């Protein structure tokens, strides 16, 4: 756990060395087929929790033996949907459906009555064929109340990319039900021990972006437009700002870089008497704030016109908002210490950390304050998903620093990659939406 120091600067410098694993690149070669998409649905702006049942998938070929993917992929789809906060998973075994292949083949139409009796709003039926080299899946979404098929997809992919099928269908399903596509497959960068790592929403693992350096050498990795990368690296007695794998600045301490929507990098830059926000657009950084002794952690509005950051100009650290070109900012966070701002990709909220332990959200004008975590260890460094509907953060609630994800209203807080054993911290979610066909 982080120790408290009387100086905010020491606290924030210490956070540079909190470690958290690996680059998971988007897989190539996914062959995507779309035989029929039925009854487009737009429920934009409506937030409901839908009861959904996902029976174990069945073999695509009648009479085929059991395949491990039947249960693995149906569970993965359920975990994805549960993570969003929009769905309540029902136990499909409670249904008295007589034919598990019903709804997947012309000779066996779906019977809605057994699903209505257990209160299901939706049912997903799936069929799978697996080999060592490829996977074929047919997935269908049924609306129990209206008795209609909302979505029907057939996917063929290399066996190693099978998880991408589930992520792609999750995004399609969310588009059909909520009017907005999901973000499964979008990238999240973070720190683990001596490496910068990358994972995806909907993944069970992570891959390394960097080689091993002494623990604490890397800090505050971030992703920008086009999935560009940036992070801070300690190099001897100097600090480097690394963008897309190349050093673009070497000198004084750089803290918490962030990309603007246009690809400009801003970060806190230490000087002789203060640390201020600077833009790194050329050989010499351009300082754009000078309102306090400590100003760090910039985050841009989605349109790139405004900047939120941490400043101690009011005596204690708080969240301030100013024009993206700099100048005097206005405090929007309530009294007390506030750090780690992240501007929602929807533009309506800024997530931040209050009292060094709890993730909160607030409007850019200071309205709508809401605390999202409480009484569960230290919760730090929130970052919004590219659709603004989810937040990733790191937490010590399980006894070690680990990445968690939750809905933007604080619901469904759960580990992001629970099977990854290393320490995880300082997450940043890419602003890039995953592809959808």
1 belongs to a structural domain: no
189 belongs to a structural domain: yes
Phi, psi of 114 (to 5 degrees): -60, -30
pLDDT over threshold 70, residue 170: yes
- Residue 61 sits in a domain of what CATH number? 3.40.50.10070
pLDDT digits (tens, 9 = 90+) for 373-402: 998 999 999 999 999 999 999 999 989 999
Do 122 and 18 lie in one domain? The reply is no
Average pLDDT over residues 68-96: 91
Do 58 and 125 lie in one domain? The reply is yes
Which of 135, 152, 178 terminates a domain? The answer is: 178
Q: Tell me the pairing of strands 148-158 and 195-200.
A: unpaired
Q: Which helix (H) or strand (E) holds 306?
A: strand 306-311
Average pLDDT over residues 321-329: 92
Do 196 and 163 lie in one domain? The reply is no
d(CA 431, CA 386): 4
Q: Which domain holds residue 91?
A: 31-178
d(CA 358, CA 333): 13
104 belongs to a structural domain: yes
Which of 143, 178, 213 terminates a domain? The answer is: 178
Residue 38: per-residue pLDDT = 31
196 belongs to a structural domain: yes
Residue 403: per-residue pLDDT = 97
Do 352 and 213 lie in one domain? The reply is yes
Q: How many CA atoms lie within 13 A of 328 on its CB side?
A: 2
Three-class DSSP category at 79:
helix
pLDDT over threshold 90, residue 20: no
Do 135 and 172 lie in one domain? The reply is yes
Which of 126, 149, 178 terminates a domain? The answer is: 178
324 belongs to a structural domain: yes
Do 163 and 111 lie in one domain? The reply is yes
- Residue 213 sits in a domain of what CATH number? 2.120.10.30
Torsion sign across C-alpha atoms 332, 227, 78, 44 = positive
pLDDT digits (tens, 9 = 90+) for 25-70: 222 233 323 333 333 333 333 356 899 999 999 998 876 666 677 7
Residue 130: per-residue pLDDT = 86
What total of structural domains would you count in the chain? 2
Poorest-pLDDT segment among 100-114, 201-215, 353-367:
201-215
Residue 15: per-residue pLDDT = 40
Residue 406 vs residue 421, higher pLDDT? 406
Average pLDDT over residues 407-417: 94
Poorest-pLDDT segment among 6-10, 259-263, 295-299:
6-10
Phi, psi of 361 (to 5 degrees): -130, 155
Task: Specify the pTM.
Answer: 0.86
368 belongs to a structural domain: yes
Question: Rounded to the nearest 10 degrees, what angle do helices 162-178 and 69-84 cross at?
Answer: 40
pLDDT over threshold 80, residue 167: yes
Residue 4: per-residue pLDDT = 35
Do 12 and 80 lie in one domain? The reply is no
How many CB atoms are located within 10 Å of the residue 111 CB? Answer: 15
């Amino acid at each position: 756990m982080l120790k408290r120091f009387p100086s905010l600067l020491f606290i924030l410098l210490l956070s540079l060395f909190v470690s958290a694993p690996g680059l998971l690149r988007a897989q190539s070669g996914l062959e995507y087929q779309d035989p029929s998409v039925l009854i487009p649905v737009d429920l934009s702006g409506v937030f409901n929790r839908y009861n959904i049942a996902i029976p174990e998938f069945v073999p695509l070929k009648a009479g085929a033996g059991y395949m491990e993917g039947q249960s693995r992929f149906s569970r993965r789809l359920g975990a994805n949907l549960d993570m969003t906060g929009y769905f309540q998973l029902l136990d499909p075994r409670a249904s008295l459906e007589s034919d598990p292949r019903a709804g997947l083949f012309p000779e066996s139409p779906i019977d809605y009555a057994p699903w209505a009796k257990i209160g299901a709003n939706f049912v997903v039926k799936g069929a799978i064929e697996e080999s060592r080299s490829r996977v074929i899946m047919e997935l269908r979404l049924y609306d129990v109340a209206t008795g209609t098929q909302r979505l029907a997809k057939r996917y063929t992919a290399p066996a190693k990319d099978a998880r991408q099928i589930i992520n792609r269908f999750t995004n399609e399903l969310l588009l059909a039900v909520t009017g907005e596509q999901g973000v499964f497959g979008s990238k999240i960068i973070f720190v683990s021990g001596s490496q910068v790592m990358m994972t995806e929403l909907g993944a069970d693992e992570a891959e390394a972006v960097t080689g091993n350096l002494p623990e604490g050498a890397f800090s505050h990795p971030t992703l920008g437009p086009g999935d560009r990368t940036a992070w801070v690296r300690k190099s001897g007695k100097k600090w480097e700002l690394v963008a897309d794998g190349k050093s673009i600045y070497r000198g004084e301490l750089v803290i918490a870089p962030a990309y603007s929507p246009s690809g400009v990098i801003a970060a806190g830059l230490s000087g002789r008497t203060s640390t201020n926000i600077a833009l790194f657009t050329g050989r010499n950084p351009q300082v754009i704030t000078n309102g306090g002794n400590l100003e760090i952690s910039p985050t841009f509005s989605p349109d790139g016109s405004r900047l939120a950051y941490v400043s101690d100009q009011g005596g204690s650290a708080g969240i301030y908002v100013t024009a993206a070109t700099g100048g005097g900012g206005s405090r929007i966070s309530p009294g007390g210490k506030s750090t780690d701002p992240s501007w929602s990709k929807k533009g309506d909220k800024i997530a931040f950390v209050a009292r060094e332990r709890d993730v909160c959200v607030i409007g850019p004008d200071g309205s709508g304050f809401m605390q999202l975590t409480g009484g569960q260890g230290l919760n730090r460094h929130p970052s919004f998903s590219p659709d603004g509907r989810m937040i990733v953060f790191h937490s010590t609630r399980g006894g070690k620093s680990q990445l968690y994800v939750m809905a933007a209203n604080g619901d469904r807080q759960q580990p992001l990659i629970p099977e990854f054993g290393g320490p995880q911290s300082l997450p940043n979610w890419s602003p890039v939406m995953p592809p959808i066909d």
